[in-house]
Every structure is written in structure tokens, then in C-alpha cells.
Amino acid sequence: MTCLNLDPSLPPEAILAVEELLLNRVEGGGVEMLCFWESALPFVVLGYGQTASREADLDACKAVGVPVLRRESGGGAVLQGPGSLNYSLFLRQDSDPALACVSSSNQWIMERNRRALQSLLPTALVASVRGHTDLALTGIDGVVRKVSGNAQRRRRIALLFHGTLLYSLAKLRQTASMELLHSPSLVPEYRGHRGHLDFLTSIPADAEALRVAWTREWAANTPGFGPEPKAIQDLVTSRYILDTWNLRR
């Protein structure tokens, strides 16, 4: 498996285009890849089937210049920006029997992600998989808080499985307010009635430690390369910059 770190100055819409292009590459026979990115600019990203106005305060986002974009995968709306490292796995479905369907893919990948996270934690913190594809931390107080949301997109041969690794909630809040997001339309049972700031917490590790742990777990030992700039720009202008895609629902 190869590994790629995207330039943090890459515009948010270009990041989403890169993910789609890398998925296309593996679908076309390319090698499996682990990719990391962290946006220098805040933005809201919606799951494929979500209604924009239900998940985000569109007027507030516009007022502060935070774009609302839509990705190809499912899952919920996320506020992205500094303090939130993202990983993206581009896998062949025939590389392991567990990847044959959505549910077993979730279980197999999330257990490996949980193991990577646990390797970084002090003994007082326990990492667990909650809901379908959340990573959460439980401290000595017994309270369970979310640190990672994840989603997948499947093609005929390849799949994209990606997620956030929230290592600094304070840094994320310096660039944008969590109030740009409404209470989510789909709420996992373990969340209860908690607001965003009571429900979320930070991973006690920096971005580089997270990269090392994920790279080790997924044996992503070979440097990879990204798509051509022209391919990225073409996809941005034909999809990821358009309201007809981002705000279509």
C-alpha cells in the first residue's frame, strides 16, 4: 500500500476531487493507498444523501465565508479545518473477504482503526467503535465522547473508506464555530441529547503521531503520488464548486 500526504493549502473542493480521482485510480487497477489531509481553511462537508439546509446553517456559513460542500460518500455533516486530520483508504474489495459488503467492511476497517488509536493512548483512556463507524474515547469518568466519524463509498471493484481524527477541538474552534452545524438528523444512541461540544473531545496525540500509527497499522510503506493538477481542476469545475452538486438537496 502506498501513502500520500496532501498539501494543506489545497482548496477544500480540490481535496474532495482528489479523493474521487484516487478512488477512480484504484477502480481502474491502481495500487491501494492511504492518504492524509488537513485543510488549512474551514469548511462544512455533507454526506452524499444529506439535505444541506437540514444539516448546516447555510446563512451563517455564508456570512463567515465557510463553504458548504458535498462528498461522494455517506455519513454525516462534518466541520473541517485545522485540528482535524483526515485519513482516506482506497482499497480493492477483493483484497480481503471482509471487504465484500458494507457491514463487514465497517467492522473490519474500524477495528483496525481502533487498534491504531489505542496504541497512542494512556491506560486511562479506552478507544472503542460506537454507532456504526465512530471512534470514541472513554475516560476514568466513564463518559464516552466522539473523536472520529467515518464513511465509505463503494464502486464495483474499489472502495473509499475515510474519516476524521479530531486531535485539537480547540484549534478547530479557532477557525470556525461548531454552531455552523445543526444538530444532526441521524443521532447515534450513545450521543444522547448532548450538543456538539459536550459530545466531542480531542485525541491526546498530535497529527504526526496519528499519521505514524495509521501508516503502521495499514502497512502503507511506499510513497504515493496524487492526480494530475489538470484532472483535479477539471473535476472541481464540473462538480465540487457547483451549487447544483453541493446544495442539490
pLDDT at 187: 87
pLDDT at 186: 84
pLDDT at 141: 92
Q: Which residue has the cell 464548486?
A: 241
Return d(Cα 22, Cα 217) in angstroms, integer: 20
| Domain at 2-246: CATH code | 3.30.930.10
pLDDT at 56: 97
**b/e 87-100 (16+ beta carbons within 10 angstroms → b):** bbbbbbbeeeebbe
Q: Which three cell numbers stand for residue 210?
A: 496519528
pLDDT at 185: 86
- Enter the pTM of the model: 0.95
Q: Which three cell numbers stand for residue 5?
A: 500526504
Across the chain, the runs of DSSP E, i.e. the strands, are: 2-5, 33-37, 43-46, 68-70, 78-80, 84-92, 126-130, 134-138, 144-154, 158-166, 222-223
pLDDT at 39: 97
Residues in the chain with pLDDT < 70? Answer: none
pLDDT at 242: 98
Domain edges within the chain: 2-246
pLDDT at 132: 85
Q: Dihedrals φ, ψ of 159, to 5°?
A: -140, 150
Q: Which of 47, 35, 46 is nearest to 10 (CA)?
A: 35
pLDDT at 218: 98
pLDDT at 24: 98
Return d(Cα 42, Cα 167) in angstroms, integer: 15
CA atoms within 13 A on the CB side of 244: 4
